[in-house]
């Protein structure tokens, strides 16, 4: 409470100044922290409490520090003056700062002269432990100011083209870390062009343990004895300098038969190859490793060196193989076969091994010919007994011939990386059943790979594995079904859309489905009680239906489920307005900024927050469109009803009967039993032979006869022909008109009379009452139009179509058409 009261009083004290510094209690420095960053100050404020222990005055406009600038604040432990146009320090600028342990002067305009660094400027800083002088305008190192810094532990200093640490640095007895690279933290670079044997000579009396000298792209001249004065060096970072792999390794000769903690030689290959020697530089040979083999180093990194070959004799030697715990040779171009791992177990203390992200370019072939090898190869790899992390990418020419890999000594193995086509052709990986973290990214799976090899995995990455082509694996025997303990599953960048993702173990906690083609959540979230995060970023989700949203809300209530949706473009149409409001308000969404891109009905791009903010206006617009549609529809229906009522009111009986007929009520259809004759046969005299010799024999003189009405036989004498035709058609179930050319050209008009009588007999009570039998060359289009308007096409038969079997099929079809 006393501290809070003190801070409150201090705020009140400083409130009158428009450039007030913020104050808060800081646990790290055990007192008040004054934050004066970015306030355009031209001098250090004198109104701050005297007992502040930390002051940050970076990103201001200080150009000079006058004498006793900080004398009022003698309890300072931390002082940050980074990023000012500071070019001058007066001799007593830091007077009284006996307790200061950390001083940051990076990104100023300090030069290597007595104006920027007068002789006694650091005299009172005998407690200083950390000093940062990176990204200044020094052209050399002002060694005359360093002798008072007897407790300096870490020095971050700007790089110069030809660095030389003068005699003043020999007084830094406590110096442990020297960093000459400001690339990442302060946006600078390394300007060193050469390193001499004398560069670090004055540091031979220090106990320097860590040297960081990275990203010196112009460094192509380094003396072989440059590191000899640093006899206590434990950690060496010499990365991205392009001085050559062999040259970098030769620098290690001062440390032979000694112990080192860390050596990083990443990206030290020569950027351009000039001759055969530069090509040899991309291999680790017995000659180039002759010093490193004799150093007991714990961690070695040779990443990104374009290495394509490692000789066995170059690495399997003591003390190198027995001391090494971390080995990183990723991002290289190794070629060969998996036999390179057969002696891997000799690294008895190795805990971390990474040989991933290998690439093949230029003259190095991706595949080799193995004509003499068997098509079914199983190899056994014995890992170091203490290995915890094992990362491997397919070595060129090997993965396409191996069908099974069995790993041994995996009882301590926690993480395995088998990436980028290593699984191509494999059917099984054994020995990894107890591994928890598995990364198979970059492989392409077929339908025969056995995922039970990773049955106990809790973390599995299948990123960019082209799973969209493995439909059978998903549907018939899901790739996820053996994963009974999975908690973190990554199937991003696979082009997945409608492939089902079940079954997934209900132990899942984090599911990464980003950069696919899903248009909704492909799982039922309520089935996964432990799921807390789904990454659906950069998919094709336009909206989520009400059921999916309800499940997500329920999952949030049960287990605080979060959903990542960045990279999706949503639809802000009228029907999705409720989704947009849910999207902005629901606690399910992971992102704090809910203003996702959104497309309106008119194609305009906007944001979901803007739509939600003006949702009432959009609602009125959508309601107006809907009411207009409803009104137009209602008016059309009313107009239609009025017309229907008018038509029905003029013919009530007719439409009543039609309605009853539609429901099969009120009408009794006639059957052949209701008539004296089954068929009336209408014909012309010239067709009598056909009617009496064939048609009559096939229909009336057969096993299942039907009674025919033939006008020449059944019209009684004395009865007018017209009456006989009308009576015959009336008392017959159906009429069969035998129409030939003679029938159509009948001059007596009796044939036309027969057609008219048959047409008048048509009624709804007898379906298809007229059947036409075409004789000779008569075609359908030759028939009278009034007849074609009544007779169905199925009721017109042509004798010509039955010439091959007229005695059977024709009469059978005629009976079928007549319904007898």
Tokens of 733: 């179930």
CB count in 10 Å sphere of residue 234: 20
3-state helix vs strand vs coil in the chain, percent to 5: 30, 20, 55
Tokens of 465: 């594995």
Helix, strand, or coil here: 659? helix
CB count in 10 Å sphere of residue 333: 18
Residue 359's nearest CA partner among 270, 420, 440 is 420
The answer to whether the CB of 493 falls within 8 A of the CB of 462 is no
pLDDT at 110: 94
Q: Give the global pTM.
A: 0.68
CA dihedral sign, ordered 344, 346, 347, 351: positive
Residue 610's nearest CA partner among 599, 620, 623 is 599
Integer Cα distance of 811 and 820 in angstroms: 11
Distances (CA, A) of 179 to 103, 133, 439, 813: 15, 10, 35, 104
Integer Cα distance of 50 and 29 in angstroms: 15
The answer to whether the CB of 608 falls within 8 A of the CB of 570 is yes
Strands 194-195 and 154-157: unpaired
Helix, strand, or coil here: 613? helix
CA geometry: angle at 592 spanning 587 and 595, to 5°?
100
Helix, strand, or coil here: 333? coil
pLDDT at 628: 58
pLDDT at 275: 64
The answer to whether the CB of 356 falls within 8 A of the CB of 392 is yes
Instruction: For residue 218, give every residue at least 6 positions away whose Cβ sits within 8 Å of its Cβ, in sequence order, or none.
Output: 191, 192, 193
pLDDT at 195: 87
The answer to whether the CB of 266 falls within 8 A of the CB of 326 is no
Tokens of 364: 């190095």
**Burial of residue 110, with CB atoms counted within 10 A of its CB: 0-12 exposed, 13-18 middle, 19 or more buried:** buried
The answer to whether the CB of 353 falls within 8 A of the CB of 380 is no
pLDDT at 455: 80
Integer Cα distance of 390 and 377 in angstroms: 22
Integer Cα distance of 820 and 809 in angstroms: 15
pLDDT at 48: 94
Q: Block means of pLDDT (10 residues each) for the chain, length 820 residues?
A: 44 50 92 95 93 95 94 95 95 95 94 93 95 90 94 91 90 92 64 87 91 82 87 92 88 93 91 69 88 94 89 84 92 68 82 80 39 59 91 62 80 87 70 88 70 84 80 58 86 81 80 93 89 95 93 94 94 86 93 91 86 76 64 82 80 68 66 86 87 86 86 84 87 90 82 88 82 89 87 87 69 85
- Alpha helices per DSSP H over 252-357: 276-280, 312-315, 320-323
Which residue has tokens 């010919």?
Answer: 369
Integer Cα distance of 464 and 450 in angstroms: 19
CA geometry: angle at 318 spanning 281 and 266, to 5°?
35
pLDDT at 374: 46
Integer Cα distance of 710 and 535 in angstroms: 86
Residue 813's nearest CA partner among 702, 699, 735, 731 is 699
Tell me how long the chain is.
820
């Amino acid at each position: 409470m006393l501290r809070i009261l003190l801070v409150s009083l201090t705020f009140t004290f400083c409130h009158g100044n428009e450039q007030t510094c913020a104050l808060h209690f800081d646990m790290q420095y055990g007192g008040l922290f004054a934050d004066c960053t970015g306030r355009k100050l031209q001098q250090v404020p004198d109104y701050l409490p005297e007992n502040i222990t930390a002051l940050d005055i970076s990103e201001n406009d200080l150009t000079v520090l006058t004498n006793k600038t900080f004398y009022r604040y003698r309890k300072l432990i931390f002082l940050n003056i980074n990023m000012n146009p500071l070019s001058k320090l007066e001799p007593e600028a830091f007077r009284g700062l006996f307790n200061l342990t950390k001083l940051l002067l990076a990104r100023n305009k300090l030069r290597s002269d007595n104006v920027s660094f007068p002789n006694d400027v650091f005299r009172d800083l005998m407690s200083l432990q950390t000093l940062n002088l990176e990204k200044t305008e020094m052209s050399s190192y002002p060694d005359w100011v360093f002798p008072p810094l007897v407790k300096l532990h870490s020095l971050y200093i700007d790089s110069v083209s030809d660095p030389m640490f003068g005699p003043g640095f020999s007084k830094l007895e406590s110096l442990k870390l020297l960093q000459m690279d400001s690339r990442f933290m302060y946006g600078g670079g390394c300007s060193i062009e050469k390193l001499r044997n004398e560069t670090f000579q004055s540091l031979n009396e220090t106990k320097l343990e860590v040297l960081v000298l990275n990203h010196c792209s112009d460094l192509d001249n380094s003396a072989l004895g440059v590191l000899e004065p640093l006899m206590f060096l434990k950690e060496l970072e010499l990365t991205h300098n392009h001085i050559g792999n062999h040259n970098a390794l030769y620098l290690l000769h001062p440390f032979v038969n000694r112990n080192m903690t860390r050596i990083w030689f990443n990206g030290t290959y020569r950027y351009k190859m000039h001759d055969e020697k530069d090509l040899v530089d991309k291999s680790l040979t017995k000659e180039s490793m002759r010093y490193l083999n004799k150093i007991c180093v714990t961690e070695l990194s040779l990443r990104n060196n374009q290495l394509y070959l490692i000789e066995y004799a170059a690495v399997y030697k003591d003390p190198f193989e027995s001391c090494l715990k971390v080995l990183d040779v990723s991002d290289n171009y190794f070629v060969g076969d998996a036999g390179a791992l057969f002696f891997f177990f000799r690294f008895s203390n190795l805990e971390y091994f990474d040989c991933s992200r290998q690439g093949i370019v230029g003259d190095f072939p991706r595949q080799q010919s193995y004509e003499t090898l068997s098509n079914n190869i199983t190899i056994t790899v014995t890992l170091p007994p203490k290995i915890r992390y094992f990362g491997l990418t397919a070595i060129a020419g090997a993965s396409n011939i191996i069908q099974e890999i069995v790993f041994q000594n995996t009882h301590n193995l926690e993480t395995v990386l088998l990436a980028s086509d290593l699984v191509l052709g494999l059917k099984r990986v054994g020995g990894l059943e107890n591994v928890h973290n598995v990364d198979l990214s970059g492989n392409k799976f077929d339908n025969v790979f056995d995922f039970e090899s990773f049955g106990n995995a809790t973390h599995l990455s299948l990123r960019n594995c082209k799973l969209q082509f493995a439909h059978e694996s998903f549907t018939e025997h899901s790739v996820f079904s053996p994963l009974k303990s999975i908690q973190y599953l990554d199937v991003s960048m696979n082009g997945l859309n409608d492939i089902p993702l079940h079954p997934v173990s209900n132990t899942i906690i984090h599911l990464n489905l980003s950069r696919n083609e899903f248009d909704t959540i492909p799982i039922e979230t309520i089935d996964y009680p432990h799921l807390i995060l789904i990454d659906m970023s950069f998919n094709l989700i336009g909206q989520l239906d009400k059921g999916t949203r309800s499940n997500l809300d329920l999952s949030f209530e049960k287990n605080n489920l979060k959903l990542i949706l960045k990279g999706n473009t949503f639809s802000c149409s009228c029907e999705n307005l409720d989704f947009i409001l849910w999207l902005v308000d629901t606690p399910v969404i992971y992102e704090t900024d809910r203003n996702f891109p959104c497309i309106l009905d008119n194609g305009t791009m906007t944001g979901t927050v803007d739509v939600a903010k003006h949702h009432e206006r959009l609602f009125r617009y959508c309601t107006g469109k809907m009411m207009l549609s409803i009104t137009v529809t209602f008016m059309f229906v009313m107009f239609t009803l009025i017309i229907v009522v008018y038509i029905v009111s003029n013919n009530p009986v007719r439409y009543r009967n039609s309605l009853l007929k539609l429901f099969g009520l009120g009408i009794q259809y006639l059957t052949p039993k209701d008539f004296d004759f089954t068929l009336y046969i209408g014909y012309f005299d010239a067709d009598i032979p056909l009617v009496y010799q064939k048609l009559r024999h096939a229909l009336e003189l057969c096993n299942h006869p039907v009674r025919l009405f033939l006008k020449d036989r059944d019209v009684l004498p004395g009865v007018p022909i017209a009456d006989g035709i009308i009576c015959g058609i009336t008392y017959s179930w159906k009429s069969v008109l035998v129409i030939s050319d003679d029938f159509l050209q009948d001059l007596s008009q009796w044939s036309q009379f027969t057609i008219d009588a048959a047409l008048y007999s048509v009624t709804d009570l007898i379906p298809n009452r007229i059947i036409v039998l075409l004789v000779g060359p008569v075609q359908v289009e030759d028939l009278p139009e009034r007849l074609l308007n009544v007779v169905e096409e199925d009721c017109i038969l042509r004798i010509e179509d039955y010439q091959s079997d007229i005695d059977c099929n024709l009469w059978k079809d005629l009976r079928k058409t007549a319904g007898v």
